[in-house]
Amino acid sequence: MVKDKIPEILLSGNAENMLRASALLWKTEDIFNLWTEAYAMYEHRQDIRCMAAYHLGYQYRNGKGVRLDKSKALEYFIHAAENVGIYQVYAMRIVGEMYRTGEGVEVNIPAAMHWLRQAAGHGNLAAQIELDELYAENTQLEISDDKQSISAHEEKYISSGSVLIFDNPIEHLAYILSESKNTVFFGGAGMSTESGLPDFRSADGLYNQATQFRMSPQQIVSHSYFMEHTREFYEFFRCHQLYPDAMPNAGHYALARLEKAGKLNAVITQNIDGLHQIAGSQNVYELHGSVHGNYCLSCGEKYGLDYVLEHTCVPLCRKCGGIVRPDIVLYGENLNFDVMGKALEAIQSADALLIGGTSLSVSPAADMIDHFKGKHLVVINQTATAADNRAELVMRTHVGETLSRVVEKIITSDSVAK
Ligand code: ZN
């Protein structure tokens, strides 16, 4: 569907649409082709060139959609770092890192220093940390004037230099929330585990468990399996993905309260359980759909979760007898273009982005974080995430409990102030 529109999108020269298309493509080969063409086609457009080069660098570096080639990766990252665009600073840091560690190139400390300094100069915290380490390892190097030592690397609390005035992360987060005019929350499975739902992707999560099914859960919760083995799909779906009795936890309620107080613009979630809405959140973008939405494949008639629960087998349409399916994104299916677009807009216009209960390992949703251009990036997750080194504040804690503590603090102190 998106794939058919690619030539059109490419010809339009609209960088933003290319990025969306890339996020919606399922096969890494397709993503590779899209950016290869864009890179060749737009020699004089810095923004597209930067974007394309960054993606190609990433794919060559990780062997995604193309054979792994570190020196090609470095070449592309250098192109990205030399062209003005939203990935330029990230590319600078990566080039610095590759020179520093000798990835795809001989170790070259002056080159590493040059690129890391460029990135740090643009406010990239990870680059600044790497620079600090480089200086520490190479004490003979002269410390330049622009270098300012930063960073408290405590196990649970990492904060950037400019805001070290806070004694603890809760206070820091409370400050960000009260200062920000446009805050967006981006959440994942960790948000629901505190409501007793299993995390599909964590180490002991559902997808690693042996089930009575002979196939892996990924294979079962896929488009092709649904179409060919609808009955088995529903057996699995009922046992492992429907939790009609699950209730929102303190974190869901905290976010709803925050929205009501005018301090939260949107919730973007990868979860399909609908718990945010049950807690009272209004502006929710469900990237992977929701088990509460169901529709007939033949006539489009809509049904709630109750209808599916009433049936013991495959739910059939009351009107036409067609198969009713859940409105969730199955493996092998694209995300909803509209929801994705609105979520991206929310991220792009936010000045604070809170990432909670997700390791950001699931593509393409996780790539959306790269669109954030605002001031405060906060990560609340028990394990490391791909966004940690860009974040102003990283908290290795339970997301629900943390949100509830911080919201309690702001809303109370606000009302006291009044
Ligand atoms: Zn029907």
**Whose structure tokens read 């049950």?**
278
> Is 69's pLDDT higher than 90?
yes
Read off the pLDDT band of 37 (50, 70, 90): very high
Q: Band of the pLDDT at 407, cuts 50, 70, 90?
A: very high
How do the domains of the chain map onto residue ranges? 2-151, 169-193+248-285+336-417
Active site residue 288: yes
Tell me the CA–centroid distance for residue 295 and ligand 1, in Å. 8
pLDDT at position 139 is 64
- Do residues 399 and 406 touch, judged by C-beta distance below 8 A? no
Which comes out higher in pLDDT, residue 1 or 114? 114
Q: Residue 378 corresponds to which amino acid? A: V
Task: Mean pLDDT check: name the lowest of 38-42, 116-120, 288-292, 353-357.
Answer: 116-120
Distance CA 135, CA 116 (A): 11
Q: What is the DSSP-derived secondary structure letter of residue 334?
A: P
**What's the pLDDT band for 159 if we cut at 50, 70, 90?**
very low
Which range is least confidently modeled, 7-16, 184-193, 265-274? Answer: 7-16
Q: How far is the CA of 303 from the centre of ligand 1 (A)?
A: 10
Catalytic option among 252, 288, 371, 398: 288
Least confident of 245-254, 317-326, 332-341, 358-367: 358-367
- Give yes or no on whether 2-151 and 169-193+248-285+336-417 have one common fold: no
Place 211 in a pLDDT band, splitting at 50, 70 and 90: low
- Ligand 1 centre to CA of 301 (Å) is 5
CATH code that applies to domain 169-193+248-285+336-417 = 3.40.50.1220
Reply yes or no on whether the pLDDT at 253 is more than 70.
yes
Q: Give the pLDDT of residue 150.
A: 31
**Per-residue pLDDT at 41 exceeds 50:** yes
CA distance 43 to 317: 53
Q: How far is the CA of 70 from the centre of ligand 1 (A)?
A: 52
The CA-atom distances, in angstroms, between 320 and each of 294, 301, 308, 343 are: 15, 9, 16, 34
Rg (CA), the chain: 23
pLDDT tier, 392 (very low <50, low <70, confident <90, very high otherwise):
confident
Q: Does residue 400 register a pLDDT over 70? A: yes
Banded pLDDT at 254 (limits 50, 70, 90):
very high
Extract the runs of DSSP E, i.e. beta strands, from 61-156.
152-153
Q: Taking 50 as the threshold, does the pLDDT of residue 292 lie above it?
A: yes
- DSSP bridge pairs for 38: none
Comparing 69 with 385, the larger pLDDT belongs to 69
Q: What is the band of 160 on the pLDDT scale with cuts at 50, 70, 90?
A: very low
Query: Is 70 exceeded by the pLDDT of residue 242?
Result: yes
Q: Under CATH, which architecture does the 2-151 domain have? A: Alpha Horseshoe (1.25)
